[in-house]
């Protein structure tokens, strides 16, 4: 059984498409670790940068060609490995691992799907992705997780282990997400994303940036 975090490619027709992947990483891992439990799980992929499903670090020595750097460079996916580590332990041992460090892994695209970019072409299935910041909390005990971007706010009461939430992109331009972990009314961790969501773009990019709140 294969598990993949994302599906997007923009190398010109016919290699120009995106699939609905907003919560795919969590969904497929839940299937693999708790429902199907196959003999083998294959992660797709470690370093296929052009199709946007890499979870390895971006290797500066790899020749990405002329088009893939437009949507790969600067879009780190390494923190998706934190999610994989949790589910790999669950898959191998049959029980959820003990969480000792509260973390929130979050990901989002840099532009709304309806923006007209100056170069490139709109990928097939561009209407599928949701314009939102997605976050997965991995907690040792219960907490409130808050997601803010621009004027939009969302929060949920997260149980120990894994849970997910999302907040829609705001109407305001050039905004950046802010995430908090709150326990007993006290903010124990907080932080910002590193990529702004903007209403202008030089190339059609449906590849997400992946961050983590862990300190």
What percentage of the chain has pLDDT greater than the value 90? 98
Can you give the residue range of the structural domain that contains 6?
Answer: 2-213
The residue-averaged pLDDT of 135-152 equals 99
Q: Which tokens is 48 given?
A: 């296929």
Predicted confidence at residue 158, as pLDDT, reads 98
What is the per-residue pLDDT for 179? 99
Question: Closest Cα to residue 58, out of 43, 79, 41?
Answer: 79
Residue 168: the pLDDT is 99
Residue 199, CA distances (Å) to 109, 132, 147, 175, 209 in order? 11, 14, 20, 10, 16
Residues 6+ apart with CB under 8 A from 146: 153, 154, 155, 178, 179, 180, 182
DSSP state of 97: P
First to last CA, the chain: 34
Least Cα distance to 80 among 58, 65, 95, 110 occurs for 58
pLDDT at 70: 97
Whether residue 215 is predicted with pLDDT greater than 80 in this model: the reply is no
Planar angle of CA 153, 161, 176, nearest 5 degrees: 30
User: How many domains, the chain?
Assistant: 1
Per-residue model confidence as pLDDT tens digits over 41-73: 999 999 999 999 999 999 999 999 999 999 999
Q: What is the pLDDT of residues 77-114, one digit of tens each?
A: 999 999 999 999 999 999 999 999 999 999 999 999 99
């Amino acid at each position: 059984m294969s598990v993949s975090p994302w599906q997007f490619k923009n190398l010109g027709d016919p290699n120009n498409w995106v699939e609905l992947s907003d919560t795919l990483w969590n969904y497929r891992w839940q299937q693999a670790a708790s429902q199907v439990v196959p003999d083998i799980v294959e992660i797709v992929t470690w370093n296929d940068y052009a199709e946007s499903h890499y979870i390895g670090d971006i290797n500066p020595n790899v020749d990405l060609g002329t088009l893939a750097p437009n949507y790969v460079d600067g879009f780190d996916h390494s923190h998706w490995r934190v999610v994989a580590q949790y589910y790999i332990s669950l898959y191998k041992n049959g029980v959820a691992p003990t969480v000792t460090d509260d973390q929130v892994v979050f990901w989002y695209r840099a532009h709304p799907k309806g923006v007209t970019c100056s170069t490139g072409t709109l990928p097939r299935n561009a209407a599928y992705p949701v314009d939102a910041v997605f976050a997965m909390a991995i907690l040792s005990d219960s907490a409130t997780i808050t997601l803010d971007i621009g004027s939009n706010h969302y929060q949920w009461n997260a149980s120990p282990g894994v849970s997910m939430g999302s907040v829609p992109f705001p109407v305001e331009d050039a905004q950046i997400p802010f995430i908090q972990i709150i326990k007993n009314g006290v903010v124990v961790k907080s932080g910002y994303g590193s990529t702004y969501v903007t209403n202008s773009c030089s190339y059609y990019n449906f590849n997400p940036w992946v961050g983590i709140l862990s300190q």
